[in-house]
Amino acid sequence: MSHTKVLPLLEADGQGAAPCCPPLTERPMTAEEAETAARMFKALGDPVRLRLFSAVASHEGGEACVCDISDVGVSQPTVSHHLKKLKEAGLLTSERRGTWVYYRVQPSVLAAMGKLLALPTAA
């Protein structure tokens, strides 16, 4: 049984996904919004996970085979563990192709993260 909880992303004004939560400067978060955002930031709070997330996000074509991103200074089982944590937080998706697993960061996730931390623009 899986205990995976994916971050909810909502469609916004035709410009992609809205964050799970309002921008931090808009209003105080609800308890549920804070839980959702905390899962995301907790997953990215580990340097190895942040490197793996960055490797996937910056990889040519927007996806990376685990065989191409494993060189982060830890063993392969540890890489798999960290990738699993990033998937559980809703930050990555994966697809098995033959013997390899390919990971992708959904553009809506990057947009949601950016909107959450965005400062209001001057009018």
Q: What's the pLDDT band for 11 if we cut at 50, 70, 90? A: very low
Task: Report whether 17 contacts 7 (CB < 8 A).
Answer: no
**What are the structural domains of the chain?**
31-117 (1.10.10.10)
pLDDT of residue 121: 72
The string of pLDDT tens digits covering residues 70-104 is: 888 899 899 999 999 999 988 999 999 999 999 99
User: What residue has token string 């992609």?
Assistant: 16
pLDDT of residue 123: 57
pLDDT of residue 37: 84
Question: Cα separation of 30 and 99, whole Å?
Answer: 42
Helix (H) and strand (E) counts for the chain?
5, 5
Higher pLDDT, 123 or 47: 47
Q: Pairing state of beta strands 63-65 and 100-104?
A: antiparallel
* Residue 27, C-beta contacts closer than 8 angstroms, at least 6 positions apart: none
The string of pLDDT tens digits covering residues 13-51 is: 333 344 467 788 888 988 988 888 888 889 999 999 999
